[in-house]
Structures are given as C-alpha cells and as structure tokens.
Amino acid sequence: MPLRGIRGATTVPEDNRNLVLAATQELLTAMQSANNFVTEDIASILFTATPDLCSAFPAQAARLLGWDQVPLLSFQEIGVPEALPLCIRVLIHLNTELPQNKMKHIYLGQARSLRPDLSD
C-alpha cells in the first residue's frame, strides 16, 4: 500500500499547555475527518512547534485522543525571522490507496496564511 503525506498547521494565541494540546487535537481531528482514515492507517506523525512554544509536546495531543499505537515525534522549527509565531505543524504519514492529489491538507487559525491555496 502506498504511503502518502497529509500536512496541517494551526496556531495558538499564547504559549499555554492547554491551548497547545487543544489546538493540536482540533487539527488532528479535522485532518482525520477530512481524509476519512482510522488510526491503524497511520504509519507515523511528525509535529513541529515554533521556538516560542515550549509548554507542551504537540504529540501528546495525539495520545490524549487515544492514538496509542502511532509512532509520534515532536521537533522545534528553526527560528526564521518574521516567520509565523506560535505555530504547530503536522505531517501525517498515511497508508492509503488514494493518490497524493486526493489528500486534504488542513490549515487552521493564523496558519491559513501559510498555504492560502489549500485553506478554505
């Protein structure tokens, strides 16, 4: 079965553990809903957070959703000047027969500015 990538991103108004976890859960839930997959289809998920977010690992949000068997890893984004602050990015590696052009990428909050071509 082919491996596909689904991108997503969101932002929070401040570095707060509850906000980071809630925003990441909202993003993961939206990505799952838009792409109609079950957790058993996920090969792995990579999370990044901008350097101004250090109150929680975004990957913990997936665990709180019950995604216990999915390999997860959180990274820090490089600190590019004038980059979008307070941003969490996600890359889901998904086993699916669907072609890459059928994957629906999700951008929420201020992260819509990262990919206006993919945002609603």
Q: How much is the pTM?
A: 0.95
Instruction: Give the domain extent around 79.
Output: 3-114
Give a yes or no: residue 63 inside a domain.
yes
Dihedral angle at the C-alpha atoms of 84, 85, 88, 89, nearest 10 degrees? 20
Confidence of residue 117 (pLDDT cuts 50, 70, 90): confident
Give a yes or no: residue 77 inside a domain.
yes
Reference 77, options 111, 31, 34, 116; nearest CA is 111
Give a yes or no: residue 120 inside a domain.
no
Per-residue pLDDT at 119: 66
Structural domain total, the chain: 1
CATH number, position 51: 3.30.1330.40
Per-residue pLDDT at 116: 84
Give a yes or no: residue 48 inside a domain.
yes
| Strand boundaries in the chain, DSSP class E | 3-11, 42-49, 72-76, 87-95, 106-107
Q: How many other C-beta atoms are found inside a 10 Å radius of the C-beta of residue 77?
A: 16
Confidence of residue 118 (pLDDT cuts 50, 70, 90): confident
* pLDDT tens profile 43-92: 999 999 999 999 999 999 999 999 999 999 999 999 999 999 999 999 99
Confidence of residue 120 (pLDDT cuts 50, 70, 90): low
